[in-house]
C-alpha cells in the first residue's frame, strides 16, 4: 500500500487506498473553485408563523470567502444581538463558496442586514436553534487547477470503485483539519485530558511550537515551555509573550496567572477557560485519532471495509435521509456473529448497513474477532480504555460508532478537471480529494 503524507500519519492516517501517483494540482485558486452546499434536513414553519412559538428565523446564506464563525459574528454585530443567538448546522471552509443554514433568535426577516460576500434569504421559522449536525450531508463541486498528471484520475477512480465493492468509496477518515490544519495538536491535548494529564494538556496547546507557524508564534510558545520548566513559573511573562490574536492560548495563560498554575486543578481550570465546544473538541479529536488508527490498521491487515467479518459491529441506514444520500444511523447497531455474517454482508452490499469502528467513550462495547483485536490494540498503544472517558464537565464522553467506509456519487469532468460528489454529514471531502491529488494535506 502507498504510504500517506507524513503530516497525515501524524493524525493516524497511514495509507492511501489507490497506489498511483495522483493527479497533483491546486485547490481554491479562487473561492468559486470550491463550492459546498448543505443537503438540508430542517423543514421550517412559514415566515408568518407565531414568533412566540417559533422564535428562531431560519436563513439560507450563500457565502463567498467567509469563515462560518466570522460570518456568524458579523451577522450578530450587524443585528446588534449576542453572538450566542446565531447558530448553524455545519462549519465550512473560508476559501470557498458555501451555501448553508443559520438560525437567528428573535429577529424578523426585515432585520437581516446586507453583508459583503453574502446572499442571505429567510426561509421560515423554527422552534429551536440549529445544532451541529442538523443537516443530511454536503454536496461538493471542486475544480483542480494545473494538475500535472490529469490522466491519473482514471486509475484512482478504478481503485476507489474496487475498494467500495463497485461504487467509489474511501475510508471514512477524519480529515487533517479535524486536528488543526497548520498545527495538528488537538488530539494530543485530548489524549492528555483523557489520561488525566491536565498540565501536559495545557502545554500541548499553549506551548508545543510547530514549524508551520510564524516565527513570532513559535517564539511565544517556546517562552511558555521555558516558563513551565522553571521551579517558580512566571506565567505573567508567558502571557505577555503570547500574541493577541491567539485568544484561546491567552485565556488559558490568564487562568494560570490567576490561579498560580502549580497544581493539576489549576491546569484543568485553564482548559475550562476556553469555550465549551473547544473543550469537547479536544476529547473528540482524541477519539477521532484513535478511529483513524483503527482504520489504518484494518487496511494494513487487509480486512474489508465494504463488508463485515465476524466480530464487526454494523449500523443501518438512516431511513429519514434523502433518498439519493446514504446516511448511516449509528443508533441502530448489530454485532456480526458467525451465523449472521452472510445476511449482514448482503445488507452491506445493498447499501442498507455499514461496518463501524468506535469513537471510544464510557458506553463503548468493543468488537470481537479480528476487528476487536484491532480496537484493543490501538487503545492499548494509546494507553486508553473506555472508562477513561468518564471525565468532568464538557470533557466527558459516552462515545458512539462511525461507519468506516463512505461511498459517494462521484463524477469527474475533464476540462477543466473537476470533481463533484455528495457526502453524508460528518464525512470529510478531504478523504476523497487526498486520493486524487496526493499532495500535502495543508493544500487540500
Taking the CA atoms of 59, 60, 64 and 66 in sequence, report the sign of the dihedral they define: positive
- Residue 132 CA to its chain's centroid (Å): 11
DSSP-derived letter for residue 175 is P
- CB-based contacts of 270, cutoff 8 Å, min separation 6: 202, 252, 253, 255, 256, 259, 261
Angle at 287 between CA 282 and CA 292, to 5 degrees: 120
Residue for grid cell 448482503: 346
Distance CA 116, CA 130 (A): 24
Comparing C-alpha atoms, which of 226, 213, 219, 427 is closest to residue 328? 427
Beta bridge partners of 424: 137
Closest alpha carbon to 304 in 345, 340, 343: 345
Q: Look up 240 and say whether it is catalytic.
A: no
Q: How far apart are CA 408 and CA 405, in angstroms?
A: 10
- Any idea how long the chain is? 444
Contact 38, 95 (CB under 8 A): no
Catalytic residue, candidates 33, 93, 134, 312: 93
Q: What is the DSSP-derived secondary structure letter of residue 439?
A: -
Strand ranges inside 108-186, DSSP E: 118-126, 135-143, 169-171
Nearest Cα neighbor of 38 from 56, 17, 58, 19 is 58
- Say whether 80 sits in a helix, a strand or coil: coil
Q: Which residues are catalytic?
A: 93
Amino acid at each position: 500500500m502507498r504510504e500517506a503524507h507524513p503530516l497525515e500519519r501524524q493524525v493516524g492516517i497511514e495509507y492511501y487506498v489507490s497506489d498511483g501517483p495522483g493527479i497533483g494540482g491546486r485547490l481554491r485558486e479562487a473561492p468559486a473553485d470550491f463550492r459546498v452546499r448543505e443537503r438540508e434536513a430542517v423543514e421550517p414553519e412559514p415566515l408568518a408563523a407565531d414568533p412566540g412559538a417559533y422564535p428562531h428565523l431560519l436563513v439560507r446564506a450563500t457565502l463567498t470567502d467567509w469563515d462560518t464563525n466570522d460570518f456568524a459574528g458579523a451577522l450578530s454585530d450587524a443585528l446588534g444581538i449576542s453572538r450566542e443567538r446565531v447558530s448553524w448546522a455545519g462549519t465550512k471552509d473560508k476559501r470557498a463558496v458555501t451555501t448553508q443554514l443559520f438560525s437567528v433568535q428573535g429577529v424578523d426577516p426585515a432585520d437581516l442586514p446586507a453583508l459583503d460576500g453574502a446572499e442571505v434569504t429567510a426561509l421560515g421559522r423554527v422552534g429551536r436553534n440549529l445544532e451541529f449536525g442538523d443537516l443530511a450531508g454536503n454536496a461538493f463541486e471542486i475544480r483542480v487547477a494545473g494538475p500535472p498528471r490529469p490522466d491519473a484520475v482514471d486509475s484512482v477512480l478504478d481503485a476507489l470503485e474496487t475498494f467500495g465493492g463497485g461504487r467509489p468509496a474511501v475510508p471514512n477518515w477524519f480529515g487533517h483539519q479535524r486536528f488543526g490544519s497548520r498545527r495538528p495538536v488537538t488530539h494530543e491535548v485530548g489524549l492528555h485530558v483523557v489520561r488525566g494529564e491536565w498540565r501536559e494538556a495545557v502545554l500541548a496547546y499553549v506551548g508545543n511550537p510547530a514549524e508551520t507557524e510564524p516565527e513570532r508564534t513559535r517564539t511565544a510558545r517556546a517562552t511558555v515551555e521555558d516558563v513551565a520548566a522553571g521551579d517558580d513559573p512566571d506565567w505573567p511573562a508567558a502571557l505577555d509573550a503570547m500574541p493577541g490574536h491567539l485568544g484561546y492560548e491567552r485565556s488559558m495563560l490568564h487562568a494560570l496567572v490567576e490561579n498560580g498554575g502549580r497544581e493539576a486543578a489549576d491546569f484543568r481550570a485553564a482548559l475550562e477557560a476556553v469555550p465549551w465546544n473547544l473543550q469537547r473538541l479536544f476529547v473528540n479529536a482524541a477519539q477521532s485519532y484513535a478511529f483513524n488508527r483503527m482504520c489504518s490498521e484494518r487496511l494494513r491487515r487487509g480486512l474489508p471495509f465494504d463488508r463485515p467479518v465476524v466480530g464487526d459491529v454494523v449500523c443501518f441506514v438512516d431511513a429519514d435521509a434523502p433518498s439519493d444520500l446514504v446516511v448511516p444511523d449509528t443508533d441502530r447497531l448489530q454485532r456480526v456473529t458467525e451465523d449472521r455474517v452472510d445476511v449482514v454482508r448482503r445488507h452491506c452490499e445493498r447499501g442498507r448497513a455499514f461496518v463501524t469502528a468506535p469513537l471510544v467513550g464510557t458506553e463503548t462495547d468493543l468488537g470481537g474477532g479480528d476487528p476487536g483485536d484491532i480496537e484493543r490494540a490501538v487503545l492499548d498503544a494509546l494507553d486508553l480504555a473506555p472508562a477513561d472517558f468518564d471525565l468532568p464537565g464538557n470533557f466527558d464522553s459516552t462515545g458512539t460508532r462511525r461507519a468506516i467506509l463512505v461511498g459517494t456519487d462521484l463524477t469527474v469532468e475533464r476540462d477543466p478537471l473537476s470533481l463533484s460528489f455528495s457526502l453524508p454529514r460528518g464525512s470529510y471531502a478531504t478523504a476523497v480529494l487526498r486520493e486524487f491529488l496526493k499532495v500535502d494535506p495543508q493544500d487540500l
